[in-house]
Structure 1
């Protein structure tokens, strides 16, 4: 599974764990970035994502979370997710920019997917992502 998610060189010295998430009938294979180092690296320098693959960022405490796209080559959509798995907001992010994209409420999780992935499936603020915990 991980080989489909990574492109080119291995992004980390050790592969990140993969978690299967769902939103309705849609399955997501998400690398889990739960350390400072893995969250900082994120999807930087990746040239592609396999279909239905993304990255789940896990934080210790709910907080307003903000992301940018420095050194990120792929256009992404990010869902900000509260402790109950409910999406608070989704933002589309352009590659190689430093524009901030922030949650509208304190969240513990964010999920980055290929840009447009959520919209194409009718997943929006108020939708639920299951399998996070």
Structure 2
């Protein structure tokens, strides 16, 4: 779930909580539903870098603190780009959703993502 100032939004997310799953991410997918996404969980807080190599779907990326608070947002990433997308801050997780989700739902820094995988990492 994403808790914004306006509402609570429910998503069905896949977990990327191993090095292999994080490396593959959403590569090679041709589509992503409006209520779907992938949650990348890292072993500890660190600055992370993402890219769109081999990714066909434009994404919005929400960079999250341990408690799920959105620290940074990258919107409408460019498919197949090798340009580095930085978390800018030390983060615990990244939620990737289809591009346009941030604008459509009015999401912003300070909103919070809730998922049992984040609760386990404390």
TM norm structure 2 = 0.88
CA RMSD of aligned residues (A): 1.0
> Which structure carries more relative contact order (alpha carbon 8 Å, separation 6+)?
2
Give the unaligned 5+ runs of structure 1: 1-20
| Cα distance in 2, alignment partners of residues 45 and 113 from structure 1 | 15
Q: Give 1:26 deviation, angstroms.
A: 0.5
Q: Does the CA-based 8 Å contact 2:34-2:97 persist in structure 1?
A: no
Superposed CA offset, 1:19-47 (max 9, x none): xx332420011100000110000000000
Superposed CA offset, 1:70-125 (max 9, x none): 00000001000001211001102110000111112100100000001022101111
Alignment of 1:1-133 (within 5 A): 21-23=1-3, 24-92=7-75, 93-131=77-115, 132-133=118-119
**Secondary structure in 1 aligned to 2:110?**
coil
The structure in which a higher percent of residues are strand is 2
Give the unaligned 5+ runs of structure 2: none
**Secondary structure in 2 aligned to 1:106?**
strand
| Cα distance in 2, alignment partners of residues 50 and 105 from structure 1 | 28
Runs of 4 or more, structure 1, over 3 Å off, are none
| Cα distance in 2, alignment partners of residues 107 and 119 from structure 1 | 22
